[in-house]
């Protein structure tokens, strides 16, 4: 077993050219509850991957889903995190394309839940979105705004040198594919104001 990553939710490993995500059992949970949660989350993630793909957002093809495992296409490319670090990369185009894809997700009521540049991979000039383990569906602007807040914080913490160009280009792309973008961005501003107020209070 060629283990690629161990996370809180489970492990990622390769079987030939196929990537397997397996949710491992948690000893601290009651067996029946643990199995139910792992089954539900595995099913939900595979469904979100397929729904995102149908929404014209590149994601790994899902080949097989069992109780606790998803077998999917292994995206052999460069993580956007590394690509942005590269001084010669076209950061405007990358961020705008990310914005277009997130706009499509939100237009189809899909929340990624962990929008970071570590969960995006460039392959064949396309940006693939991976790891929908924290994702869900929603029609609430609050949830869309939180999704964007996670990405903005990721830009700040990981790519602070390029934050202005990345965020402005992202917003440009997001507006192109999401007719509800104005309201979502307004909600994001409210979320950020609440965050600043909480920090002042503490």
Residue, of 59 and 202, whose pLDDT is higher: 59
The pLDDT tens digits for 133-173 are 999 999 999 999 999 999 999 999 999 999 999 999 999 99
CATH H-level superfamily of 2-73 = Phosphorylase Kinase; domain 1 (3.30.200.20)
DSSP characters for 48-82?
HHHHHHHTT---PPEEEE-SSEEEEE---SEEHHH
**Domain edges within the chain:** 2-73, 78-201
Neighbours of 64 (CB within 10 A): 11
Report the distance separating Cα 145 and Cα 192, nearest Å: 9
> Does position 202 have pLDDT exceeding 50, yes or no?
no
Res. 197 pLDDT band, cuts 50 70 90: low
Which two tokens mark 168? 């402005």
The pLDDT tens digits for 70-79 are 999 999 999 9
Report the distance separating Cα 118 and Cα 82, nearest Å: 8
pLDDT of 3 reads 87
- Parallel, antiparallel or unpaired: strands 69-73 and 18-23: antiparallel
Provide Rg for the chain, Cα atoms.
18
147 in catalytic set: no
Which candidate in 17, 114, 131, 147 is catalytic? 114
- Model pTM? 0.92
> Does position 200 have pLDDT exceeding 50, yes or no?
no
Which two tokens mark 140? 């609430």
Report the distance separating Cα 202 and Cα 191, nearest Å: 17
Mean pLDDT of 38-55: 97
CATH of domain 78-201: 1.10.510.10
Longest dimension (CA), the chain: 53
Mean pLDDT of 24-43: 90
Residue, of 164 and 5, whose pLDDT is higher: 164
């Amino acid at each position: 077993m060629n283990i690629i990553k161990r996370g809180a939710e489970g492990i990622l490993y390769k079987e030939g050219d196929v990537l397997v995500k397996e949710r491992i059992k948690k000893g601290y949970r009651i067996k029946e509850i643990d199995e139910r949660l792992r089954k539900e989350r595995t099913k939900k993630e595979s469904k979100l991957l397929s729904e995102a793909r149908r929404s014209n957002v590149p994601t790994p093809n899902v080949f097989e889903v069992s109780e606790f495992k998803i077998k999917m296409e292994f995206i052999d490319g460069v993580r956007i995190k590394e690509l942005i670090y590269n001084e010669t990369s076209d950061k405007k185009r990358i961020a705008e394309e990310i914005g277009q894809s997130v706009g499509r997700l939100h237009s189809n009521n899909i929340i990624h839940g962990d929008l970071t540049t570590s969960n995006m991979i460039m392959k064949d000039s396309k940006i693939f979105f991976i790891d929908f383990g924290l994702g869900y569906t929603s029609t609430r602007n609050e949830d869309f705004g939180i999704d964007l807040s996670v990405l903005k914080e990721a830009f700040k913490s990981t790519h602070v040198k390029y934050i202005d160009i990345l965020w402005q280009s992202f917003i440009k792309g997001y507006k192109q594919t999401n007719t509800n973008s104005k309201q979502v961005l307004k909600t994001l501003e409210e979320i950020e104001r609440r965050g600043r107020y909480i920090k002042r209070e503490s």
